[in-house]
Structure 1
Amino acid sequence: MKITEVRVVAMSDPVPPERRHRTDLGTKVKSDSAIIFVDSDTGLTGMGAALGNPGVLQAIVEYELGPEVVGEDPMFSERIYEKLYNGSRARPAMDTGWSQPDPSRRRGMVMEAIAGIDIAVWDLKAQALGIPVYQALGATRDRVRAYGSGGWAPGDEAEAELGGYAAKGFSAVKMRVVGRDGFSIENTVRRVKAARRGIGPDVELMIDAHGSLDVSTSIRLAKALESYDIAWFEEPVSPDDHQGQALVRQATSIPIASGEREFTRYDFQDLLAHGALDIAQPDVARAGGFTEIRRIAALTSAHQVRLAPHAWGSGVLFAASIHVAMAAPNCHILEVSQGYMPMIWDLFNEDYQIHDGVVYAPDRPGLGFTLRADALERFKYIPGPEYEW
């Protein structure tokens, strides 16, 4: 089996004006995604997802990465990843046994494009084998506990919002540090207190700052929230400040989670070296696809750090994240978005199997999902930014 073509389809999902609200990222007006297709000479096609600007990703794949993959055998998925990562030095890198990455491919949107191709290669490979991706990766489980992820409601409204997630059967829920009423320590404490009322004492509660705080504010907030039994404090500071995140971790009893904006195992190695991490949250469509996620899972497991994959984007990204969760031994929970995201829920012919706060693995070959006939037209790409400030 040989790869014959690599294609990118840019997609958008506008957010209706009545569903828009401001967060620390701005006001979201649409969600963008790029789906990467890897065609083969057998008629099988693999499907992957990449984060980043879809138009830029199209150019990266069309003019640089795609031609390097054509002619390769998808069964050699590790080789394909190393070829894309190391670029012109792929052969000496594989011959000598140490990485010699192309400077432009280590991080950023080129790595996101590599991640998307890698997901599609694994989908194609598993289809050819006639098994789900998580079994091709090496299955650990066929179901995993999920948490309801959202939580933007202001003030005491957080009680009903987070309580609503728990009522769906989730035994863990996550809320944003910056709500629709903006940020102050007093605001967040009030919202967390309300959320705890809504979910009761037995449901885990996580908070997510999206890297929007400085070290001192993060420490003050963490200390103010310790009595509310917080399961983790996610991205308290910028992902460029691993040392600062370590200081936050040292100052609080709340576990620290991060990783959704990190690239490859080398970024996670730096987090571990700084002692900045309790729960690793790599995004399969950013950190390097299935191939690199397996390495990140092994690395973090060796440090007794658990894995909770970031799974916020398109349906293809969520489907891939399900397979990560089923394969990684140190994965203990999976994110399930509670936001307005039709591009997750209305993309496929098949339904996700999520019942009573548990996500079940698909039993079909590959990723196990097929696009609806109208998906590419319904979610046609719209130029412009995703957020307005």
Structure 2
Amino acid sequence: MRNCSRPRFSTIRNQDEATRKRPMSKITSVKAIPMSDPVPLERQHRNDLGTKVKSDATLIVLETDDGLKGLGASLGNPEVVAALVEFDLGPAVIGEDPLFSELIWEKMYNGSRWKPALERGNSQPQDGRRGVTVEAISGVDLAVWDVKAQILGVPIYQALGAVRDNVRGYGSGGWAPGDEAEAEMAGYAAKGFDAVKMRVVGGDGFSLKNAERRIAAARRGIGPDVELMLDAHGAFAVSTAIQLAKMMEKYDVAWFEEPISPDDHAGLGYIRKATTTPIATGEREFTRFDFQSLFDNQACDIAQPDIARAGGYTEIRRISALASARGVRVAPHAWGMGVLFAASIHVAMSTPNCHILEVSQGYMPMMNDLFNEPYDIRPNGRVYAPPPPGLGFTLRDDALERFKYVPGPEYVF
């Protein structure tokens, strides 16, 4: 998996010596830049969320007094994220050393009570540390780790603790109606992916009959040896989700994702007990405390934290450890702008119980055209880690102008 020919131990020794001698870096600025990626009319698709008209994200740019620059990304309403970073989170991290990433996270999460929280050894989160606030914390944390890894002279996944340098990718998309799902999923498999994902609700709307028709078509298209996953975006009631999960059993579905609202952890537990189809969820959960509730309810077989929502690298490490203790695998949700996907690569490379990584097959220029460097996705569908220190990717010169923020919703009915 990794190149063992280089003098790893002497390199690490030299890096350690350099780190001991370096002057402390200080964070001097944190900026949040709202961004949008409009979808041309001919590329818009419809599913249970509505018709996709654009994608939004917030780029986080963190700078230090020694000239380093870190990149992060946040989900959530970009205007709200920008306000949180400017007036709340940014002032909390200015002046801090990026190597103290755990301290910085605790300052952002606990707010004014960060000192007693650390002295007493228990979380004392400031009011509102859920939802978009945690999404903003996530983006700042990503940027902190980018700079931290640059200081250490290694890629982020090695700063986190590397377990591999490549991972299986799966082709994710699947909106085609009816029998057209056969060719769509076959196309993903033809790119080399040995696992693919489609939406339960396609362009032809939902009924149990429509869903089974599309699933059967997808299975015909990919054959028996390619894994098939289904994503419901939390659209169904428990009773309908159980019917779907039982139907999926005969099609050897690798997981049924977000069958019901992510708010109903007990309901997810009921569904999981009623079927042999594995249940996946987690992309809309915030912090390890939400995931602890999922695991307590035995609600999933696969946890899917989103790096730009769940709390960044710092918190996903904790979430993944909790999952491992419960025998739950991790498959990061990685749908969004390029910084989010690049960060998810580093998560996959540093998480022992991560077995696969999402690779979007949708119309996503803000993911695929954001950086000067291409992603290293091989013909066999495996995703490889970037070798440069830090995130390993740099923004194109025209990125901020090309993806200028456009107010309004991402989906419309």
Equivalent position amino acid for 1:320 in 2 = A
Equivalent position amino acid for 2:64 in 1 = S
2:227 is aligned to 204
1:228 is aligned to 251
1:283 is aligned to 306
Shift of residue 229, structure 1, vs aligned partner: 0.3
Shift of residue 20, structure 1, vs aligned partner: 1.0
2:238 is aligned to 215
Q: How far apart, CA to CA, are the structure 2 residues paired with 1:101 and 1:143?
A: 36
2:94 is aligned to 70
Q: How far apart, CA to CA, are the structure 1 residues paired with 2:55 and 2:242?
A: 32
Q: How far apart, CA to CA, are the structure 2 residues paired with 1:159 and 1:277?
A: 28
1:30 is aligned to 54
Matched, 1:15 2:39: yes
Aligned residues: 388
Matched, 1:111 2:130: no
Shift of residue 225, structure 1, vs aligned partner: 1.6
Q: Which residue of 157, 174, 182 corresponds with 2:180?
A: 157
Give the conservation status (yes or no) of the 8 Å contact 2:46–2:175.
no
Q: Secondary structure at the match of 1:285?
A: coil
Q: How far apart, CA to CA, are the structure 1 residues paired with 2:49 and 2:131?
A: 19
Shift of residue 384, structure 1, vs aligned partner: 1.1
Equivalent position amino acid for 1:37 in 2 = V
Matched, 1:122 2:161: no
Q: Secondary structure at the match of 1:145?
A: strand
Q: Unmatched 5+ residue regions in structure 1?
A: none
Equivalent position amino acid for 1:36 in 2 = I
Give the conservation status (yes or no) of the 8 Å contact 2:149–2:159.
yes
Matched, 1:171 2:194: yes
Matched, 1:387 2:408: no
Cα displacement string for residues 125-150 of structure 1 (whole angstroms, at most 9, x for unaligned residues): 00111100000000000000010000
Q: Which residue of 249, 258, 265 corresponds with 2:281?
A: 258
Q: How far apart, CA to CA, are the structure 2 residues paired with 1:327 and 1:77?
A: 16
Shift of residue 6, structure 1, vs aligned partner: 0.4
Q: Secondary structure at the match of 1:10?
A: strand
Q: How far apart, CA to CA, are the structure 1 residues paired with 2:77 and 2:408?
A: 10
2:372 is aligned to 349
Cα displacement string for residues 272-301 of structure 1 (whole angstroms, at most 9, x for unaligned residues): 100101000000100000000000010000
Shift of residue 28, structure 1, vs aligned partner: 1.0
1:240 is aligned to 263
Q: How far apart, CA to CA, are the structure 2 residues paired with 1:72 and 1:82?
A: 12
1:318 is aligned to 341
TM-score of the aligned structures, taking structure 1 as reference length: 0.99
Equivalent position amino acid for 1:275 in 2 = Q
Q: Which residue of 353, 356, 379 corresponds with 1:330?
A: 353
Give the conservation status (yes or no) of the 8 Å contact 2:32–2:59.
yes
Give the conservation status (yes or no) of the 8 Å contact 2:282–2:305.
yes
Shift of residue 223, structure 1, vs aligned partner: 1.1
Cα displacement string for residues 279-334 of structure 1 (whole angstroms, at most 9, x for unaligned residues): 00000100000000000010000111000000000000000000000000000000
Q: Which residue of 111, 116, 135 corresponds with 1:87?
A: 111
Write out the 4+ residue segments of structure 1 that deviate beyond 6 Å after TM superposition: none
Task: Please say which of residues 326-335 and 51-60 is displaced more in the overlay.
Answer: 51-60
TM-score of the aligned structures, taking structure 2 as reference length: 0.93
Shift of residue 21, structure 1, vs aligned partner: 2.1
Q: How far apart, CA to CA, are the structure 1 residues paired with 2:392 and 2:44?
A: 32
Q: How far apart, CA to CA, are the structure 1 residues paired with 2:72 and 2:173?
A: 25
Q: Secondary structure at the match of 2:58?
A: strand
Q: Unmatched 5+ residue regions in structure 2?
A: 1-24
Q: Which residue of 315, 318, 325 corresponds with 1:292?
A: 315
Cα displacement string for residues 147-185 of structure 1 (whole angstroms, at most 9, x for unaligned residues): 000011000000000000000000000000010100111
Give the conservation status (yes or no) of the 8 Å contact 2:110–2:124.
yes
Give the conservation status (yes or no) of the 8 Å contact 2:304–2:333.
yes
Q: How far apart, CA to CA, are the structure 1 residues paired with 2:328 and 2:288?
A: 13
